[in-house]
Chains A and B, each alone.
Chain A
Amino acid sequence: MTAPATPIARPDALPEVDVAPGRARPRARVRDGLVEGWLRGHTLLVYLFLYIPILVVVVFSFNATQRRVTQWEGFSLRWYESVLHDTVVQAALFNSFRVAIATAILATVFGTMAALALQGTPRWFRSIFEALTFISIIVPEIVIALSTLVFYSTTFDVINQLFHVRFKLGYETIVAAHALFNISLVLLLVRARLSGMDRTHVEASYDLYGTPWRTFWQITFPQLLPAIVAGFLLSFTFSFDDYVITFFVYGAGLTTLPIYIFSSIRQGVTPATNAIAAIMLLITLSVLVIGQALVWRNARRSGQRGAQASVAGMIAEQSG
């Protein structure tokens, strides 16, 4: 598929390149090795940087202390035990999870749709839409949180009176509020991906009498997949970890994990929260490892190597 992509097809994409023939090569090889080493080292350091606090979190989940998590007082499994019996924490975790999943799905679908179609909209619409995208990211959380709450309560008051229903703050209000920022997130990611995309494949598909639908699924979608997945992951994370917006728009009984944890800092963060985090990490990492192992097995079985063994490749190849 990459063979047709010669410089001729994309005159803009290949600017002038410094030509330094022959002489630079032996030195370049050493430098190449250094650069390679540096790249690898930097990446490793970053991953270490990301995971060292996680390690600390897990270690302290075994802290035998009574109240404050930051004071080590011996090894104990009691907090895991308490988490498994604590219905309040479990409810908070469950709420967080289902809000985050719903938001992530909504945002990914709607954001991707919008990103795809945005280029086809009239100029005036596009400008306003883009401005709104940025505004949704610019607005400080407390401002959007409070104003959304006021909006909800005023609207519900009016609607409840007019139509004799009983709308109130609850699960849907949180999901809707989270989805706003996340739609913008996905939109920006997918557009970034789209901007570099190769149109020749799309054109080729149409030349071969492909329908727009099929073209999308077999050409565009697989190429967009990394951006869509990235958008989904970021949306899920933002929603799962959100405090300010959730705090103001949630209804009774829908305490999420961040609210639970933030509220407990006055009394002292107990290792119970660390235990929850550790349990979640365990589940997530196991799922990932199993998933990747399956991908590897599948790749080896079909004899493919390299980039195509990734998930994106799998899907593309199966739909083709």
Chain B
Amino acid sequence: MTISTEVAKADDEGPRRSRRSALVTGLLVLPASAWYLILLVLPLLIVLVMSFGNKGRFGGYEPAFTFANYADALDPNRITPFVTSLVLALSGTFLCLLTALPIAYYIATRGGSRKSLLIVLLIVPFWTSFLIRTYAWLTILGPEGLAGFIGDVTGDSSFRILGTPWAVLLGVVYGYLPLMVFPIYVTMERMDRTLIEASKDLGATRWATFRQVTLPITATGLITGSILVFIPLMGEYVVPAILGYGRVFLIGNQLVLQFLDSRNWPQGAARAVVLILIMLVSVVFYLWFVNRGRRTRDVSVV
């Protein structure tokens, strides 16, 4: 059986890959590829085609070929929502990271037999509807809750938590925490405990151990988590509308305005295309930047 040598040398693809292995690989990626092709590429092609069109008489799309929508999307006067979204996404991701890291570490290393339970308990709150959860925050942080309490204590009757960026950030961290915790946990849990022990045996401080042993190994999880939080956060507009009292105007609001209120699908499409391209470039750049010093070794298990 020569499979062992082939697999052992198969750190990356090569011409010596066996045909059977190639077939299996193909079959394994087939479903996901089909999904991407049919339900992502085709709809996005529709978006692309729409972006060059005109608004129909009653809204919607009318076939045409014009760059006007792109000119509008790239209009520097309309750039403020993008900047606001960016600030929100960056700060939200950072806060999520700070919040998620210790808890992922704790569950992964100290969870023991309760690991699975603790992880599932993290996500159970999200099986209550998003809207009811957010409304609960309105009650907790509102004038009949925390803000009122603090207001009474400090004597400031117009003290307010809701409608401020803090409330929005709180809502954002609340909503996106699992997306950050799970990837980090998943890589931390994989980590070999003996490495930590070895490091401690060699006299390293906790922090040094964490920084030089734990962090590099869990880097992939951190990167995945930050991407999974940052990207959707750029498009977020519901939490700021409710907890932020609608006091910020974000890209999400802009897109909804164009697709629903003005029913100008081509303009919305052009804006979306521009946004997707900017984000894709940013993500690629980010990945290149963080993976510079690392040698990622993906295992071939086929």
Contact = CB atoms under 8 A, between A and B. Distances in A.
Interface of A: 2, 5, 7, 12-22, 24, 28, 31-32, 35, 38-40, 42-43, 46-47, 49-54, 56-57, 60, 69-70, 109-111, 113-114, 116-123, 125, 129, 131-144, 146-148, 150-151, 154, 176-177, 179-180, 183, 185, 187-189, 191-199, 202-203, 206-207, 209, 212, 215-216, 220, 223, 226-227, 229-230, 233-234, 237, 240-241, 243, 257-258, 261-262, 265, 269, 273-274, 277, 280-281, 284-285, 288, 291-292, 295-296, 299, 305-307, 309-312
Given A116-B301, A132-B41, A237-B126, 10 more contacts: A5-B192, A31-B205, A57-B128, A119-B298, A136-B36, A138-B231, A140-B275, A196-B190, A288-B120, A311-B116
A42 B28 CA distance: 41
Contact of B112 (A52, A258, A273, A307): A307
Given A240-B127, A309-B113, A14 B198 contact: yes
10 contacts: A39-B105, A70-B139, A136-B40, A192-B186, A192-B223, A193-B187, A195-B220, A196-B218, A209-B1, A261-B131
A194 B40 contact: no
Contact of B174 (A17, A49, A226, A258): A49
A274 B132 contact: yes
A35 B206 contact: yes
Contacts of B13: 119-123
A62 B27 CA distance: 52
B117 A292 contact: yes
Given A135-B280, A199-B299, A288-B121, A119 B39 contact: no
Contact of B131 (A28, A199, A258): A258
A180 B35 contact: yes
A168 B149 CA distance: 53
A136 to B, nearest CB: 5
A277 B216 CA distance: 40
Given A142-B256, A192-B224, A212 B39 contact: no
Contacts of B139: 56, 60, 70
Given A17-B199, A148-B43, A241-B129, A191 B298 contact: yes
Contact of B7 (A121, A198, A206): A206
B84 to A, nearest CB: 15
A5 B272 CA distance: 48
Interface hub of B35, B194, B268 (most chain A Cβ within 10 A): B35
Interface in B99-155: 99, 102-103, 105-107, 110, 112-117, 119-133, 135-140
A43 B111 CA distance: 11
Contacts of B199: 17
Contact of A24 (B124, B203, B213, B299): B203
Contacts of A199: 297, 299
B259 A110 contact: no
A183 B32 contact: yes
Contacts of B44: 135, 139, 147
Contacts of B135: 69-70, 269
A131 B284 CA distance: 8
Interface residues of B, number: 127
Contacts of B272: 139-140, 143
B68 interface: no
B47 A137 contact: no
A159 to B, nearest CB: 13
B227 interface: yes
Contacts of A32: 206
B247 interface: no
A154 B60 CA distance: 14
A213 B112 CA distance: 30
Nearest to B130: A241
B276 interface: yes
A180 B279 contact: no
A154 B121 CA distance: 42
Contacts of A312: 116
Nearest to A54: B125
B57 to A, nearest CB: 17
A118 B127 contact: no
B198 to A, nearest CB: 7
A146 B265 contact: yes
A15 B216 contact: yes
Which of A133, A148, A311 has most chain B Cβ within 10 Å?
A148
Contact of B121 (A22, A47, A209, A229): A47
Contacts of B95: none
A223 B190 contact: yes
A287 B162 CA distance: 36
A116 B28 contact: yes
A160 to B, nearest CB: 17
B87 interface: no
A293 to B, nearest CB: 10
Interface in B167-205: 174, 177-179, 182-183, 185-187, 189-195, 198-199, 202-205
B279 A138 contact: yes
Interface string B257-277: 001100001001100100110
A144 B1 contact: no
B291 to A, nearest CB: 10
Contact of B302 (A120, A129, A150, A185): A120
